[in-house]
Chains A and B, each alone.
Chain A
Amino acid sequence: MNAIEVHNLCHRYNGRTIYQDLNFSVRQGSICGLLGKNGQGKTTLVNILMGFLGPADGRCLVLGENSHDLSPAVRSRIGLLHEGHLAYEFMTIAQTEQFFSGCYPDWNADIFYGLVEKMKLPRSHKVGNMSCGQRSQVVLGVIMAQNPDLLILDDYSMGLDAGYRRLFLDVLHEFASQDGKTIFVTSHIVQDLEQLVDTMIFLDKGEILQTGLEEFMGSFHKYVFHDDNRFSLEPDEVIKGFEQRGRQVALYSFAGEEQIQGHLAALGIRPHNFHPAAMTLEDAFIGLMGKY
């Protein structure tokens, strides 16, 4: 069963097409990362999935219900982290717990305080007086204490230092280890997602590539070589991305070593010291999507 299904989604903003016939699904029990450069519509997609935007066309189902008409019962099963770690800044920690505990039937105060009290702040501390990292911990406590079936995290890493990001990952791993829990996450820290997701959706210019993390990292390759001659390469059917730093050139491709060497030769490039190189998910992201 799928936790999220998107069928033929179209969306436009100020006359500009953001998506055209977007289709994907997120399997229940999976951890899916949505990756895309800035401005590609990641937050817009989350807004559509949560019913904060009506799509121009197409259909989105979240836990089996139409996303722009989610029933309160389904909303209670979705933990939503808004971009920027939105929280009620006029509330204290204790008031935040009091407020949300009355909204969710499965609320677990121990989970909330277990996460929030790691910061060693008094319960009377106001959310508005917290740092971004501290506020993110309160928000994480809120969504975890709801005991949701589906977590939707919109750029959870925004403004967080390495420590808080690691804390998020620890909690998300713990959450994902429970049966049937689904996570749909966007983040601009691609490295973090490499430690978390099992499925990825690359969103670029309104089109998507959905793939398993292992499958992608096994089929997409980085090749490095040296060349004294400055040349310009454009992505084509074989070469998906290209980076040049001084004499070192890095190519990204789904093609095997022999095919890429043959392709370079056909382009008139004679690479020195050509070899496959280890690649992080961030390298792969840049290689596939480009820098700008």
Chain B
Amino acid sequence: MYRSIILKEWLKLRWFFAACVLAHLALCLRIFFVIGRQMREEHAEMVWYQAIHIHTVMYQDIRFLPLFTGLLLAAAQFMPEILGRRMRIALHLPTGRDRMLLLCLLAGIALYLIATGLGVVGVFVTLRRFFPLEVAFSALPTMAPWLLAGLLAYLGMTIVLLEGETRRRVFLALVFGVLVTMLFHGNGYGWLTPALPYLVWLVVPAMLSVFESARRFQQRGA
């Protein structure tokens, strides 16, 4: 059963996942070449000054990519289930609804983490090539809220798609919109690092909300 559900999710997501991976790799290459050109055209001291003293984030281009990745993967995964109410097929499978949904979510989240993880690794390697290790490491807490925003966007999109009632849909979209916007606030390195251990816990109620939306989806005639 588990392998079947993972197969289904993979078949839905594989091309979208490939597109997300390519987008991350492409942006990482762009960041690499832009920083390389700056190093050649400006004095390296100036670039280091910007990066280390002014806290200019050299990898801003990738900032919103995890968000789009989360939204795209959720849409690719759950739109085929919602259109024509095809989720009824999965809901009739001989397994528990929550277990089935958990597997779907884990499949989507795993692919999200792989795609965005590649972006993080790409940025880290690029920074390590041009800057000291400390600067490269500073990218991790700086990018973490962006990744968290993408994950919440993935869960939020899933909830909004599964939710059948329009008013509730709008409300949930607003709630997740506010949460995601909050995670993009601030500039410089590690802006949200102190709050990050608390913000991560937002994933728990968001995931629980997916199960509740799926329950309502089924009870409203799937």
A interface residues, Cβ below 8 angstroms from B: 44, 47, 50-54, 68, 72-73, 75-76, 78, 80, 82, 84, 86-91, 95, 98-104
Contacts and interface: CB of A to CB of B under 8 A. Distances in A.
Interface residues of B, number: 24
Nearest to A54: B219
A90 B11 contact: yes
Given A102-B3, A103-B4, A72 B84 contact: no
Contacts of B199: none
A10 B219 CA distance: 15
A103 B88 contact: no
B221 A52 contact: yes
A254 B89 CA distance: 42
Nearest to B96: A72
A75 B92 contact: yes
B55 interface: no
Contacts of B219: 52-54, 68
Contact of A72 (B4, B95, B218, B220): B95
Given A72-B95, A95-B11, A47 B222 contact: yes
22 contacts: A44-B221, A47-B221, A47-B222, A50-B88, A51-B218, A52-B91, A53-B219, A75-B93, A75-B94, A76-B94, A78-B92, A82-B88, A86-B84, A86-B85, A87-B89, A88-B86, A90-B11, A90-B80, A100-B4, A101-B4, A103-B94, A104-B94
B94 A102 contact: no
Contacts of A50: 88, 92
Interface string B157-174: 000000000000000000
Interface in B114-159: none
A209 B7 CA distance: 45
User: Which are the 6 A-B pairs with shortest beta-carbon distances?
Assistant: A102-B4, A76-B94, A72-B94, A52-B222, A75-B94, A53-B221
A84 B83 CA distance: 12
A88 B89 contact: yes
A90 B220 contact: no
Interface string B192-222: 0000000000000000000000000011111
A72 B8 CA distance: 19
B12 interface: yes
A197 to B, nearest CB: 23
Given A52-B221, A102-B4, A88 B92 contact: no
Given A76-B94, A84-B84, A99 B222 contact: no
A91 B11 contact: yes
Interface in B56-98: 80, 84-86, 88-89, 91-96
Contacts of B94: 72-73, 75-76, 103-104
B93 A103 contact: yes
Contact of A86 (B7, B86, B95): B86
A86 B220 CA distance: 18
B104 to A, nearest CB: 13
A82 B89 contact: yes
Nearest to B76: A90
B11 A52 contact: no
B221 A98 contact: no
A135 to B, nearest CB: 11
B11 to A, nearest CB: 6
B178 interface: no
B30 to A, nearest CB: 32
Contact of A99 (B8, B88, B92, B221): B8
Contacts of A99: 4, 7-8
Given A47-B221, A54-B219, A88-B80, A102 B95 contact: no
A202 to B, nearest CB: 23
B3 to A, nearest CB: 5
Contacts of B7: 95, 98-99, 102
